[in-house]
Every structure is written in C-alpha cells, then in structure tokens.
Amino acid sequence: MPNLPNMEDLLRQAQDFSGRLSQLKEELARRTVEGSAGGGMVKVTADGQGRIRRVQIEPAILNPPDPEMIEDLVCAATNQALQAARQMAAEASRALTGGMSIPGLEGLLGG
C-alpha cells in the first residue's frame, strides 16, 4: 500500500499556503504600477489587485478641450496600467507557488 500523506501535514500546509496568499494579496494592494499615454500627458496608477488608484492629466491637453483625444489617452493609459498590474500579479503568483501553475490563483490575487 503506498504511503499516503499525513492529513495533519496536508492541513498545516494548506493553512500555511492560505496565510501566504493573504499576505501576498495585502502586498499587491500596496504595490502600484503606472501606465501612460500621449508622451506622459496622461498617467494612470493601478495597484497589484487591478484597482485604479489615480488618474493624472496634464492641464496642457485640456486647452483647447478635445474630449475624444482625452478619452482615448485615458483608455490607453488605463489599459497599460492594468496590463502591468496583471503581470505583477502573475509574477507574484509564480513566486508563491514556486513556478507551479494553479488555475484561478491569479484571480484570487486580483490580477
């Protein structure tokens, strides 16, 4: 009969992983990345959980107002920031699991 893992050890490992996952989620919520567009005229900051934290628009692009251009720049900068946030979450996920792929883990981290 093959040696089965001790249930207490498995439970302890699961609890340890859960604790490390919670710590990582907190860390990702504190870390930020930035996306920019229009040569830096629009900047968007997102955290590692994919939440937008700040949008900066240089006043120079508001005069004369061109709403369509500003909308496009905000979208481009936001997409860039969110992509960087997903990448940060993926790297954190790989570090947590030692490179092992666990389906859905990045979603739990917010990426």
Domains of the chain: 38-98 (3.30.1310.10)
d(CA 101, CA 72): 35
Whole-number pLDDT of residue 4: 66
Specify the pLDDT at position 7. Answer: 85
Q: Name the helix (H) or strand (E) containing 52.
A: strand 52-57
Where does the pLDDT of residue 3 fall: very low under 50, low under 70, confident under 90, or very high at 90 and above? low
For residue 35, what are the β-bridge partners? 44
Q: What is the pLDDT of residue 110?
A: 65
Find where tokens 């917010």 sit: 110
pLDDT (tens digit, 9 = 90+) per residue, 55-99? 999 999 999 999 999 999 999 999 999 999 999 998 888 888 877
Dig out the tokens for 76 from the structure: 């481009």
> What residue has token string 């989620």?
25
Summarised one tens digit per residue, pLDDT across range 5-30 is: 788 888 888 888 888 888 999 999 99
Q: Can you tell me the distance from the alpha carbon of 44 to that of 100, in angstroms, rounded to the nearest whole number?
A: 31
Average pLDDT over residues 29-43: 97
Count how many residues are written for the chain.
Answer: 111
CA geometry: angle at 99 spanning 95 and 100, to 5°? Answer: 120
